[in-house]
Structure 1
Amino acid sequence: MTLEDHVGDILSKARKSATLTAEVAAAAAGLSVADYAALESTGKSPKPANLLKLAPVLGLNGPKLEGIARGWHPPAIDLSPWRELRQIATTQGGNTVNCYLVWDEVSREAALFDTGWDAAPIFRLLDAEQLQLKHLFITHTHTDHIAALGPIRERFPKVKLHSSSKHAPVDQRTRANDFIHLGSLRITYRDTPGHAEDGATFIIGTWSEDAPHVAVVGDAIFAGSIGGAREQLALAREKIQQQIFSLPPDTLICAGHGPVTTVALEKEHNPFF
């Protein structure tokens, strides 16, 4: 799975959050405005860009930004320690989004994190593993993450919904000290607004065979980037550092877009930090 953001996407997010013009960024990068526009659009420019000079202007880490430009990608992570975890990717209009299903191997009770565009692959997996969906956790209420909510709730009318949206009924809203037991698994909540006002991260722990924690982060952070935050970029960074980077280094980060990664990898390679 490719990264959600190429280097141009990262530059665009950082520049717009800093409310800088393309002309200012182009001058810092040593490019014409046209070449800089190509860099933001495609991740490549006709002439080499001075990313080390541009990065601090945009509030980015220069060496890490160069790493993304050179093609950094998190190494393939062996998911076998998390036997009861699956990533489900669905696509609509060129937008691929991930949702995640976890379950207890004894009770066969399952929890879904976001819905993606299409419920069909979720239903196939539930049926194949003979699972009963008990909980549905929403990382944020942007359309691509909840598009299949209707069909899922229709098939599982008793599923317990967990959301940080201020529009959610009170009994469905997440709270800071909440924890849910799914068989032997323990699911807790952390507040991660920035990309979305109702952004939430869910931590899944106490896996069998002591597998590391899993953090389902929605669009708070991606492998090598973060979700677009515009004027909320400072808040997004603060929450990522407080709520996600404070987790153990081997914590598996399951993002709403792009490949899985770890806390350690993002601390080392993400140019927003």
Structure 2
Amino acid sequence: MYEIKSLKLGHMDNFIYLIKDKKTSDIAVVDPAWDVDAIFRAAEEMEGEIKEVFLTHSHYDHVNGVDQVLHRSDAKLHIHKIEDRFWGGAGRNAKLHSGGDFIKLGSIELKIHHTPGHTPGSVCYELDNHLFTGDTVFVYGCGRCNLRGGDPEAMYHTLNKIGTNFDPSMTVLPGHDYASCATSTIAEQLQGNPFFNIKTLHEFVDYRMHKHNRSIPYSPVN
């Protein structure tokens, strides 16, 4: 029904994802940034056409290619309504969404989950057994909460929701390559990701805001 291609682009090791509906050849780009030419070359290699842009959040390293993609295609931009306000009103005729909404890509459908913490309107996109997590969940990590819009208490509740409500076999497709492997499963994160294993809100906030150093490579906690 669909094909997923990942690109690692930019000096911050961003993952940009292309999702193709095989029936219509429509393609969605998740968080276009850094090298738009590479994104369009990947779409050509997939023999599809970019029709949608899905944003997980609005930090610069995830959106700096948005305007070029919109200029070079007829793509529609999708963003959570809270994130659009946080971004300052993108002014790009974006389709605004809420958590629980469904988005059509050709003949397939993705579900939006509001996952605040890294930014107020951060979202994850669910497609069958795949979860595009942006900067909410990394492989053995989670997004920082000390940047503009960050909220460690919201992140704590978001990760609890993901760990409780999603199928453990679901594949996590993160927004950055910050670990020894590009993808993982929720089950593996529940076992080895320290942010999923802190039991109290106070401990989580202290660890996320004061003790954890993202420059230390993530590794499973046994």
Q: Tell me the TM-score normalised to structure 1 length.
A: 0.62
Q: Does 1:268 align with 2:191?
A: yes
Q: What is aligned with 2:158?
A: 239
Q: What is aligned with 1:136?
A: 53
Q: Match of 1:202, as an amino acid?
A: Y
Equivalent residue for 1:189, pick from 92, 109, 112: 112
Q: What is aligned with 1:147?
A: 64
Give the superposition deviation at 1:256.
Answer: 0.6
Give the superposition deviation at 1:214.
Answer: 0.9
Q: What is aligned with 2:18?
A: 101
Give the superposition deviation at 1:96.
Answer: 1.2
RMSD: 1.9
Higher percent of residues as strand: 2
Q: Does 1:113 align with 2:25?
A: no
* Structure 1 runs (4+) greater than 6 angstroms displaced: none
Is residue 244–residue 263 contact of structure 1 (8 Å, CA) maintained in 2? yes
Q: Does 1:219 align with 2:219?
A: no
Is residue 27–residue 50 contact of structure 2 (8 Å, CA) maintained in 1? yes
Q: Does 1:228 align with 2:147?
A: no
Seq. identity, % = 25
Q: How far, CA to CA, are the matches of 1:140 and 1:245 in structure 2?
A: 23
In structure 1, stretches of 5+ residues that fail to align are 1-81, 206-212
Is residue 125–residue 133 contact of structure 2 (8 Å, CA) maintained in 1? yes
Give the superposition deviation at 1:199.
Answer: 0.8
Counterparts in 2 of 1:187 and 1:244: CA distance versus 1, 3 Å? farther
Q: Tell me the TM-score normalised to structure 2 length.
A: 0.76
Counterparts in 2 of 1:112 and 1:244: CA distance versus 1, 3 Å? farther
Q: Match of 1:240, as an amino acid?
A: L
Higher percent of residues as helix: 1
Counterparts in 2 of 1:137 and 1:224: CA distance versus 1, 3 Å? same
Q: What is aligned with 1:3?
A: none
Is residue 30–residue 54 contact of structure 2 (8 Å, CA) maintained in 1? yes
Give the superposition deviation at 1:126.
Answer: 0.9
Q: How far, CA to CA, are the matches of 2:140 and 2:166 in structure 1?
A: 18
Q: What is aligned with 1:57?
A: none
Largest Rg, 1 or 2:
1
Q: Match of 1:260, as an amino acid?
A: T
